[in-house]
Amino acid sequence: MTTSTILITGGAGFIGSHVVRLFVNKYPQYRIVNLDALTYAGNLENLKDIEAAPNYQFEKGDITDEPAMQELFARYAFDGVIHLAAESHVDRSISDPLQFVKTNVLGTANLLNVARKAWANAFSGKRFYHVSTDEVYGSLGEEGFFTEETAYDPRSPYSASKAASDHFVMAYYHTYHFPVVMSNCSNNYGSHHFPEKLIPLMINNILNKKPLPVYGKGENVRDWLWVEDHAKAIDLIFHKGKEGEKYNVGGFNEWKNIDLVHLLCSIMDKKLNRKEGESAELITYVTDRPGHDLRYAIDATKLNKELGWKPSLQFEEGLEKTVDWYLNNSEWVEHVTSGNYQQYYQEQYEQRS
Ligand code: NAD
Ligand code: DAU
């Protein structure tokens, strides 16, 4: 592809903003259109550094809105779509499952359908990339890994909605020969991560000497990946992935939640000149998340062997960079935690304490 117009959905969110930045900077010959509804999780401040780039355009809109998506496809004649827009927080999916069905299932199905009609069966040179999660595979015991062949077994309304969207994507491939590619990634971390998720929430609470709410016994395991490495994987898969295939993306980096929280406390004690162990005193065990998946671990061998991708950063280095970003961007944190974040936090954590 030389001159391409690419639609990135959810580009004002955490991962989407890293993908938009990468594409805008790396491909000056592309036109990058960022479509985002700017929900609580979407923030244009995430893209301040590239907002004036000549190859970048923002469009506010909702992926569930069929006429709006038809108009957008007609206006831009997209060559490719990278679809990240979603409701993404498991705890919110437990309180409000239907919002997840609407955005993640209906929104994805709507986007697929609008793209299929806009491309009117002339699919050559077109590509629809769906960004998904490892949570569709369910929960592992103490051993084993998720591969691309692992059967889907989602357990939360969030993962069920993502699994349904994945099935629609593959159904479009098989039924219409629609040119899809897909990836399922493990937990991301890095800058611009909304502080309802574990790492940024803990950083913010450590900084403000607030209790650090660890669900259950803190024994659950997640496989953490530097968000910029995920963005690079998306770039590779979008350009070189095989049509109709899916790729697992992961950090080869498993941590028990409680060990991760201790590591963050120790990094921040040093940075904030607190005595070693001071922040860890804030750790508070709270009521567990219902249906809490025990362990996720990705086998990303296919992506490594076929496309040569591997994570670039050691976790300790990535966590230090992440903490530094939050300490240097207190204004961003203040903006995203004002307004309805306070109410969300109170409702979530009142029930747990
Ligand atoms: P996020 O919640 O930070 O961002 C989601 C973005 O989508 C926001 O900008 C929001 O405004 C936008 N959005 C929501 N509903 C919309 C709608 N109806 N129309 C248009 N835009 C809408 O999410 P994230 O963590 O950046 O995740 C991005 C994608 O990657 C999601 O599909 C998620 O399932 C997937 N994923 C996330 C992780 C992770 O660790 N965060 C890991 C694997 C996969
Ligand atoms: O695995 C990929 C998924 O990772 C993505 O698809 C999701 O969009 C993303 O939100 C993330 O889901 P998790 O549920 O794993 O992430 P979260 O940050 O919410 O929680 C990580 C772990 O930390 C999980 O075991 C629950 C626990 N936790 C979380 C919070 C917010 C706590 O112990 N305390 C907390 O306050």
Q: Is the CB of 195 under 6 A from ligand 2?
A: no
Active site annotation includes 158: yes
Q: Whose CA is nearest to atom 35 of ligand 1?
A: 132
- Give me the domain span that covers residue 156: 5-193+224-253+298-314
Examine residue 212 and state whether it is found in any structural domain, yes or no. no
Cα(258)–Cα(218) distance, integer angstroms: 5
CATH of the domain at 238: 3.40.50.720
Question: For residue 288, is it within any domain?
Answer: no
> What is the three-class DSSP state of 128?
strand
With a cut of 50, which residues of the chain have pLDDT below it? 1
Q: Does residue 208 lie within any of the structural domains?
A: no
Residue 210 maps to a domain:
no
pLDDT value of position 1: 45
Interstrand relation of 212-215 and 283-286 (parallel, antiparallel or unpaired)? parallel
Cα 90 to ligand 2 centre (Å) = 7
Contact 34, 8 (CB under 8 A): yes
Within a domain: residue 329?
no
> Residues 42, 17: contact at Cβ < 8 Å?
no
Does a structural domain hold residue 282? no
Q: Is 169 part of any domain?
A: yes
pTM higher than the cut 0.95? yes
Does the Cβ of 248 fall within 6 Å of ligand 2? no
* Count of the separate structural domains present in the chain: 1
SS3 assignment, position 204: helix
Nearest to 169 by CA among 228, 294, 254, 81: 81
Closest CA to 4 of 131, 123, 125, 113: 125
CB 6 within 8 A of CB 80: yes
> Two tokens at 70?
């038809």
Res 121: pLDDT: 72
Q: What is the pLDDT of residue 205?
A: 98
Closest-CA residue, ligand 2 atom 30, reads: 198
Question: Residue 139 domain-assigned?
Answer: yes
pLDDT tens, residue by residue, 262-310: 999 999 999 999 999 999 999 999 999 999 999 999 999 999 999 999 9
Q: Which of 36, 135, 254, 299 is catalytic?
A: 135
